[in-house]
Every structure is written in structure tokens, then in C-alpha cells.
Amino acid sequence: MDHHCPWVNNCVGEFNQKYFLLFNIYIGVISLQILATILPTFNSCAKLNNCEQFVDIKMIILLLLLVEAALFFFFTLIMLLTQAWNIYSDISTIGRYKSEKCATSLSRCNRFRQVFGEKFSYRWFLPTLPSDFKRQPHVCFK
């Protein structure tokens, strides 16, 4: 087990780490899309120097949505980078907190292949089980 994530109400580990990473990527992309959609509205208000037409309940909701999208983007970006670093350094979140080391012979590239399956392709971004999925014998549990 890597860690328990209350956001997905499940433990993240060897067999569902790909889905957790994809979840973070998808939420980050959606948040960026929301930001890109809302920012032109605020930009047009700033260019007009007359925002009276924008001061209504819609603008307040858009402002709250803008803040929420930015928070979700940065939150999922931090989780994504943390998980990618854990794969890169071959250690779990719990192992990192306990300062444990797991010496494996896998290269850094192969560690990502172990999570996503096969060589890099469009299938890395689909929530499907890797075609070469099998239980890995090198997982360090103490």
C-alpha cells in the first residue's frame, strides 16, 4: 500500500496507482480548461474599466469557480508530482515517511512501465489495465 486517499475513498497501491495518477491528470486538465474558459471574462472586464455590467450574481459565481479551479489544479498537481517522484525514486509515500529504502534493479523508465504497462503509448492515458500486468515480486513490505 502506498497510502490511503480520502479523495478517492480508497488505498492507493501497486495495483491502482495508474488510476490514481490518471485521476490527478484528468482533474488537473479539467481545472485548466475551466480557468481558460473563465479568465477571458475577467480580462474583458479589466479592459473595459467599467465592470458594472459584470457585478451580479453570475460574476460572484464565476469568481468562486475561478478560485476553486485554481485550488483543484494546484492540489492535484502537487499530488501528481508527489506520486511521480515516488515512482521515479521507487519508494512509497509511507516508506518515504519511515525513511525506508527498497533496492530494486529496475531502471527509472522501467518503474513507470511497471505502473502504466508496455512502452509509452496512448494507452498510458486510458484507465485500462496494462496489457502486461502481473504481480511484481520486488515490492518491499516490512
Give the count of beta carbons closer than 10 Å to the beta carbon of residue 55. Answer: 10
Q: End-to-end alpha-carbon separation of the chain, Å?
A: 11
Give the residues across from 3 on adjacent strands: 12
Neighbours of 136 (CB within 10 A): 12
Cell numbers standing for residue 31: 481545472
Catalytic residues: 5
**d(Cα 107, Cα 24) in Å, to the nearest integer?**
24
- Which among 47, 37, 96 is positioned nearest to 69, based on CA atoms? 37
